[in-house]
Amino acid sequence: MTLKATARRNAIHAMLFYSGGCNGCDIEAVNALLSPRYDVEQYKVLWTWNPREADVLVVSGIIAWQMLEPLKKFYAIIPEPKAVVAIGSCPINGNVYKNMVGDIGVNEEIFAPLESIIPVDVKVPGCPPRPEDIIAGVVKALPKILEAP
Amino acid sequence: MSDQPKPANAENVVVEKELSFGPVHPALIEPYRIRLFVNDEIVEDCEINMNMVYRGVEKLLEGLPVERALLITEKVCGICSNVHAWNSVRVIEEGLKIDVPERANYIRTLTHEVQRITSHLIFFGHAFEVVGHETFAMRSFLLRETFMDILAYVGGNRVMPSVPIIGGIRPRADLTEGLKRAILERVDEFEKKYTEYVNRIVADPLVMSRLTGVGLLSKADAIKYHATGPTGRASGWDFDLRRDMKEYKSFDYNIIVLQDCDNKARVVQRALEIVESLKIIRQAVKNLPEGPVVNRSWIAGRMDFYTALLESYRGELMHSYALDGQGMIRSYKIRTPTPANLAAMEKACVGDHVTDAILTIASCDPCLACCTRAEVVESGRGRVMSDTEIIRKYGWRR
Ligand code: SF4
């Protein structure tokens, strides 16, 4: 392991970005990252609300149009190297909100999938995924940050 | 605020009048925008803007077969998923007079009360996070896991248990003997830990001094601004829809009403409601009647506009729709409790120190995911039209 990776390994910060969706993933992520039972801090990942400090951006929810610009802005100010983890079916494919074959067909209010907006490294499917899966997703994103030049 | 008279020496004084934050901010877990108009650190006016996560749920539901609607209505909100699923099936059950077996009603009520407890414990987590007492917040998340486990046992998923369907409950959510025993054991274990937890909160002088006497919402204001649910009941307004619901007729519990009107009352209100929910859960498990859990002999046909009301965790929830000849949904309307509580939150902030404003808003327990919606403002008169007026003017297909 390089010196850089060793130094970085002790200061990984994850930030949650809620971009729509139903709150289910949001609370499971808070649970996973923060609560005593599922504890992501055992992998030396800390929780932050400051994008300038974050390394991993955890995105939940379909991307509503009011949240589109904030999302791009947040992604831009996270320093390199950075990784994006999409949690839940919502950012992966729009879930039930994208197209339920009702009268309006494809819903144009939402901007899922997330991949069409910013590059995504890890996808954690499920509605909502279990906190264990969210932790596994965040941990999978770590090598990208550690091994970056 | 702009129409206020300027002070005489307006050029020399720098007055910072507006404090606005959001949509993404550490103090707000969900995206919404708050504008506080302050004068010397005292909040004079508050404005909450909630239209951040518009998903178009009501529109998506238009023209779907009524059984498919459950897929979406359950995902309106992730904290109270069972409420939305239950109320959307109650509309057609009451509108078309579909019988629901008694055993199904008991299991629905059980899931409802289990989720009420998880929702109130999230409230504690959020409120104490804002107060700055991390330990209490962590403890409430830990306590909550008991009931997340029960939801996973019963429904198969921690957050979306999908228990109700039209005419009853899903057969997989039926309670077995072993499950009943497990629920009772976990509830007993929970009650012991929970009592200790609440005793420690009430005995903590720092937390209590931070909560007492702040964020006053008088009973008259609560009624005037249509505060609903625990927020209204903590201000002395005795209103609970569970009294009128036929599903709750066979249970013995109390409806808590407090008269203190402040943030402490709103925290204690929810703490006491959890105890009442535990009573209902125990009764539902112990007195569970035998019999089938789902009635499948119904046909979706034409149904007039019907409205069902349900006491959800934050207050009164309305779902209403009509069905056309093929059993397709027309004109779905959802009104969640939070828009009714928003005006009360804005009022409760006024007159307090600016640091208490977020606490006051959190103590009314906003859930913004499900409350984003469209409004029609009548041009010329500048008035928001009511639902019936909109339907009369624009018809079902808007
Ligand atoms: S994936 Fe499911 S639980 Fe997560 S935000 Fe979307 S609808 Fe809610």
Contact partners, residue B351, CB within 8 Å, separation at least 6 = B42, B43, B216
Q: Which CATH number fits domain B57-335: 3.50.50.60, 1.20.1050.140, 1.10.645.10, 1.10.3720.10?
A: 1.10.645.10
Out of A90, A97, A110, A123, give the residue to mutate to test ligand 1, the one with the largest number of ligand atoms within 8 Å of its CB. A90
Q: Which two tokens stand for residue B62?
A: 């238009």
- Which ligand 1 atom is nearest residue A26's CA? 5
Residue B215 and residue B213: Cα distance in Å, rounded? 7
Which of B33, B50, B52, B53 should one mutate to test binding to chain A, selecting the residue with the greatest count of A CBs within 10 A?
A: B53
Domain positions in chain B are: 57-335
Q: Which of B57, B71, B142 sits opposite A37 (nearest CB)?
A: B142
| pLDDT score for A124 | 92
Residue B56 Cα, ligand 1 centroid: separation in angstroms? 15
Q: Which two tokens stand for residue A145?
A: 């940050």
Place of tokens 């005795």: B238
With beta carbons under 8 A apart, name residues in chain A contacting B31.
18-19, 66-67
Residue B155 and residue A93: Cα distance in Å, rounded? 24
Q: Which two tokens stand for residue B91?
A: 């509309």
Amino acid making up residue B367: C
Distance from CA of B371 to the nearest CA of A (A): 11
Nearest 5°: the CA angle B345, B112, B386 is 45
Residue A5 and residue A107: Cα distance in Å, rounded? 43
Q: Which two tokens stand for residue A146?
A: 């550690």
- Which ligand 1 atom is nearest residue A96's CA? 7
Question: DSSP assignment of B171-217, as one string?
Answer: GGGPPPHHHHHHHHHHHHHHHHHHHHHHHHHHH-HHHHHHHTT-S--
Domain positions in chain A are: 3-146
Amino acid making up residue A25: C
CATH number for the domain whose boundaries are A3-146: 3.40.50.12280
| pLDDT score for B80 | 85
Q: Which of B60, B76, B59, B43 is nearest to B368 (CA)?
A: B76
Whether the pLDDT of residue A128 is over 50: the answer is: yes
Q: Which two tokens stand for residue B153?
A: 């046992």
Residue A76: pLDDT band with limits 50, 70, 90: very high
This prediction has a pTM of 0.88
Per-residue pLDDT of chain B (398 residues; tens, 9 = 90+): 445 555 555 555 555 678 887 777 766 677 777 888 888 788 888 887 776 777 888 888 888 888 888 888 888 888 888 899 999 999 999 999 999 999 999 999 999 999 999 999 988 988 888 888 888 888 898 999 889 999 998 888 888 888 999 989 998 888 999 999 999 999 999 999 999 999 998 898 988 888 888 888 888 888 888 888 888 888 888 888 888 888 888 899 989 999 888 888 989 999 999 999 999 999 999 999 999 999 988 888 888 888 888 888 888 888 889 998 888 888 888 888 887 788 888 888 888 888 888 888 888 888 777 766 655 565 555 555 554 455 455 544 33
Nearest 5°: the CA angle B343, B263, B132 is 110
Which protein residue has the closest C-alpha to ligand 1 atom 5? A21
Residue B48 and residue B345: Cα distance in Å, rounded? 9
Place of tokens 């119904």: B298
Q: pLDDT digits over B100-141, tens only?
A: 999 999 999 999 999 999 999 988 988 888 888 888 888 898
Q: pLDDT digits over A36-45, tens only?
A: 888 888 888 8
How does DSSP classify residue B156? S
B343 SS3 class: helix
A48 SS3 class: strand
